[in-house]
């Protein structure tokens, strides 16, 4: 068995750290791109009727983008972009969250309707450094409500007001 090599360990650490920074930078740029795409599509849809017109615009745009850039530009992806803009209409707020969370994290979070619950998950995810899988698992069992119950019984009424 070979003795541990401190040089090798340090170089590995440098490489891993650089890879993480690159991945974070790419993710932040992609999230910003998705927000700008969502904002542009939203502006287009506001010029016409949202119903059938909106479906046609998104479907045709997805078809053309997929032809130009390959998979990854489906109607569903474009709807995620629209939802991102609806959830974070202020680019300054988006700028903060895109540096903290991956696009996969944000996709899970943008579909939480209640802003109080969404903020709870945003903060808890940041503090506890949840993976996407952990976040998804914790959203389903209504962690926000259970935490509110244990921390502030009066918060139950607020959270229950938003239950479907």
Q: Report pLDDT digits (tens) over 10-39.
A: 999 999 999 999 999 999 999 999 999 999
When the pLDDT of each residue in the chain is averaged and rounded to a whole number, the result is: 85
SS3 49: coil
Residue 155 is predicted with a pLDDT of 47
DSSP 103-130: HHHHHHHTT---HHHHHHHHHHHHHHT-
Asked whether 159 and 144 are in contact (CB, 8 A), the reply is: yes
What confidence score (pLDDT) does residue 111 get? 93
Cα angle 76, 141, 31; round to 5:
35
Predicted confidence (pLDDT) per residue in 85-121, tens digit: 999 999 998 888 888 889 999 999 999 998 998 998 9
What pLDDT digit, counting tens, does each position of 39-86 carry? 999 988 877 556 666 788 899 999 999 999 999 999 999 999 999 999
> If phi over 0 gives left and psi between -120 and 50 gives alpha, with beta otherwise, what is residue 70?
left
Residue bearing tokens 């997929």: 66
142 DSSP 8-state letter: T
Q: What pLDDT does 100 receive? A: 86
C-alpha to C-alpha distance for 33 and 23, rounded to whole angstroms = 15
Distance from C-alpha of 51 to C-alpha of 85, rounded to nearest angstrom: 18
**Predicted pLDDT at 2:** 67
**Long-range own/partner contacts, residues 20-27 (CB < 8 A, 24 or more apart):** 24/99, 27/98, 27/102, 27/103
Instruction: Look up residue 21 and give its two tokens.
Output: 């920074």
Q: What are phi and psi of 152, to 5 degrees?
A: -150, 100
């Amino acid at each position: 068995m070979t003795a541990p090599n401190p040089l090798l360990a340090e170089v590995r650490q440098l490489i891993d750290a650089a890879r993480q920074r690159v991945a974070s930078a790419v993710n932040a740029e992609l999230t910003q791109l998705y927000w700008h795409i969502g904002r542009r599509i939203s502006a287009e849809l506001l010029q016409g009727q949202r119903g059938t017109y909106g479906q046609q615009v998104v479907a045709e745009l997805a078809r053309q983008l997929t032809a130009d850039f390959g998979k990854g530009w489906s109607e569903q992806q474009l709807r995620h972009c629209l939802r991102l803009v609806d959830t974070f209409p202020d680019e300054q707020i988006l700028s903060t969250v895109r540096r903290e969370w991956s696009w996969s994290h944000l996709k899970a979070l943008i579909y939480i309707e209640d802003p109080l619950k969404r903020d709870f998950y945003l903060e808890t995810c940041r503090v506890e450094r949840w993976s996407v899988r952990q976040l998804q698992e914790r959203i389903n069992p209504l962690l926000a409500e259970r935490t509110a119950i244990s921390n502030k019984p009066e918060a139950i009424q607020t959270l229950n007001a938003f239950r479907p």
